[in-house]
């Protein structure tokens, strides 16, 4: 018998959110049957989406200007910090990787030195 790794909850929620513009009982039932382990989460999420769909985007009357709200300022600062952390944790070429290049250079230099040493008397004579 083939068993599949369970789908992560986030992926199931995303798939449910994508399934219909506004979730309906049929879609909820289909998903809870397909993913019984997440039945409670799906039902709660369906209620959330339903309530969310009842809230429409409205025109915002506040003046648009250069000013940024304190919440957005905090979020931007968080974004910059997250970027910095990700940059810092990015793997860089290690010394172990750089060493062979250095050894190769040393070897080439030593061979060329020896070659010069061998050739030099011949040239002078």
Partner 1 sequence: MPRALNKMTKGGVGYKRPPEIEASIDEALGQKPEEQLRRANIRDPADSAYMSSECLVHLVREARLSGDKRAVDRLLIPLLSRCERRLKRTIPDSRPDAQGLRDEVLQTFCELLARVGTNQDATALDLFECKFNKGLATLRYRRMRKENNRGKLFRDIGREVDEDGQPVDPNDTLGRLSRAAQTPAGQEDFVHLAEMLEAIKELPPAQRKAVELCCLQGYAPGSEDPNEITAATMCGVSGTAIRKNLRKAAEKLKAL
Stretch that binds partner 1, among 61-69, 93-101, 105-113, 115-123 (CB under 8 A): 61-69
In the complex, the smallest distance separating the C-beta of residue 118 from partner 1, rounded to whole angstroms, is: 50
CA distance 34 to 15: 12
Q: Which among 56, 48, 40, 39 has a CA at the least distance from the CA of 17?
A: 48
Which tokens in the block code for residue 24? 């309906």
Site for partner 1 in 24-53 (CB under 8 A): 24-25, 28-29, 32, 40-41, 43-53
Does 1 sit near partner 1 (CB under 8 A)?
Answer: no
Which of 33/101 has CB closer to partner 1?
A: 33
Which of 80/102 has CB closer to partner 1?
A: 80
Which tokens in the block code for residue 56? 């429409």
Residues whose CB is less than 8 angstroms from the CB of residue 43 and which lie 6 or more positions away in sequence, other chains included: 28, 32
Write down the residue that tokens 């940059």 correspond to: 87
Q: Which among 77, 81, 80 has a CA at the least distance from the CA of 69?
A: 77
| 2 DSSP assignment | -
Stretch that binds partner 1, among 20-28, 95-103, 109-117 (CB under 8 A): 20-28
Count of residues engaged in binding partner 1, rule: CB under 8 A? 48
Residues that bind partner 1 (CB under 8 A): 7, 10-11, 13-15, 17-18, 23-25, 28-29, 32, 40-41, 43-55, 57-60, 62, 64, 68-69, 71-72, 74-76, 78-79, 82-83, 86, 90
């Amino acid at each position: 018998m083939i068993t599949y790794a369970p789908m992560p909850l986030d992926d199931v929620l995303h798939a449910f959110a994508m399934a219909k513009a506004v979730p309906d009982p049929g879609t909820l039932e289909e998903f809870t049957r397909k993913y019984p382990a997440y039945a409670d989460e799906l039902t709660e999420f369906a209620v959330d989406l339903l309530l969310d769909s009842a809230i429409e985007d409205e025109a915002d009357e506040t003046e648009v200007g250069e000013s940024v709200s304190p919440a957005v300022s905090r979020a931007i600062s968080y974004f910059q910090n997250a970027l910095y952390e990700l940059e810092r944790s990015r793997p860089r070429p290690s010394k172990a990787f750089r060493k062979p290049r250095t050894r190769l250079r040393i070897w080439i230099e030593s061979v060329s030195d020896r070659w010069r040493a061998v050739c030099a008397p011949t040239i002078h004579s």
